[in-house]
């Protein structure tokens, strides 16, 4: 779930395979300057145009390097929070995604996490940050509560997508952890901004699919309550959630 689709599959599938083979055979990319130089060399204008079609228009510098390549680089580099901080501050789109892969959650302060989230400008970086890193932080409920209540679109999205990431990835959390956020998700279901309403739908669908069967039924009931709010975003969220959760049982 936490990955980007290939934007121009026919033109990039050979590119992805060849680049991945290259990276698995090369030496580690250890320095900031080497990583940035590699991104420049791998610049893909067709991917950049494809990203725009999917609503990815960050203010950062963009090279159009595919996610599989960035993940391969991350595996070679290994965990390195100091380097991750440098990469994030570069304001290069791909470098920021790589930063979310190599950073260690335990080595980032609360202030640094807030800074990264406050600088989010696109849904893909937002989702990569949550899916690669933020779900690992200690006491995620603190950040869920803080970020989801923020008025900024991508900060609020980060708080809600973090909840979705936890539903998928943290199997140790009890159903009660997620159920306590039902009032919050219902409250913000009337937020008409596209990346907020999509995040709420995503979080509810993952909670309903990835936890217990009992919680799936409770999530459907919540969606029915959201539908009664009768706003465009609430109706859209409710329909999306009910449609998906009604046709399948929970995985657990």
The pTM of the full predicted model, rounded to 2 decimals, is 0.86
Closest to 209 (Cα-Cα) out of 219, 195, 199 = 219
| 156 phi, psi to nearest 5 deg | -60, -40
Beta bridge partners of 92: 61
pLDDT of residue 53: 83
Start-to-end CA span in the chain (Å): 17
pLDDT of residue 63: 93
Is the Cβ–Cβ distance between 112 and 81 less than 8 Å? no
pLDDT tens digits for the chain (252 residues)?
444 444 444 444 555 554 555 444 444 557 999 999 999 999 999 988 888 888 887 777 999 999 999 999 999 999 999 999 999 999 999 999 999 999 999 999 999 999 999 999 999 999 999 999 999 999 999 999 999 999 999 999 999 999 999 999 999 999 999 999 999 999 999 999 999 999 999 999 999 999 999 999 999 999 999 999 999 999 999 999 999 999 876 666
C-beta atoms surrounding 2 within 10 Å: 16
Query: Coil, strand, or helix at residue 92?
Result: strand
In the chain the domains, ranked by start, together with CATH numbers, are 1-118 (no CATH), 139-252 (1.25.40)
Query: Coil, strand, or helix at residue 61?
Result: strand
């Amino acid at each position: 779930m936490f990955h980007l689709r290939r934007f121009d599959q026919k033109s990039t599938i050979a590119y992805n395979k060849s680049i991945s083979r290259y990276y698995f055979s090369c030496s580690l990319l250890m320095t900031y300057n080497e990583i940035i130089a590699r991104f420049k060399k791998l610049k893909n204008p067709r991917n950049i145009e494809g990203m725009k079609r999917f609503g990815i228009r960050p203010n950062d510098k963009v090279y159009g390097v595919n996610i599989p390549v960035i993940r391969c680089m991350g595996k070679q580099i290994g965990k390195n929070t100091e380097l991750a901080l440098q990469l994030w501050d570069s304001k290069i789109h791909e470098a920021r995604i790589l930063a979310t892969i190599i950073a260690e959650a335990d080595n980032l302060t609360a202030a640094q996490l807030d800074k990264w989230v406050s600088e989010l400008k696109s849904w893909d970086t937002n989702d990569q940050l949550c899916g690669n890193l933020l779900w690992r932080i200690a006491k995620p409920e603190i950040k869920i509560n803080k970020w989801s209540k923020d008025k900024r679109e991508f900060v609020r999205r980060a708080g809600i997508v973090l909840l979705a990431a936890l539903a998928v990835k943290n199997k140790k959390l009890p159903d009660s952890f997620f159920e306590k956020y039902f009032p919050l998700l219902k409250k913000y279901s009337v937020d008409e901004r596209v990346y907020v309403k999509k995040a709420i739908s995503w979080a509810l669908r993952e909670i309903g699919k990835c936890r217990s069967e009992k919680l799936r039924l409770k999530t459907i009931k919540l969606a029915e309550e959201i539908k009664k709010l009768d706003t465009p975003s609430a109706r859209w969220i409710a329909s999306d959630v009910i449609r998906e959760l009604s046709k399948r049982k929970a995985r657990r």
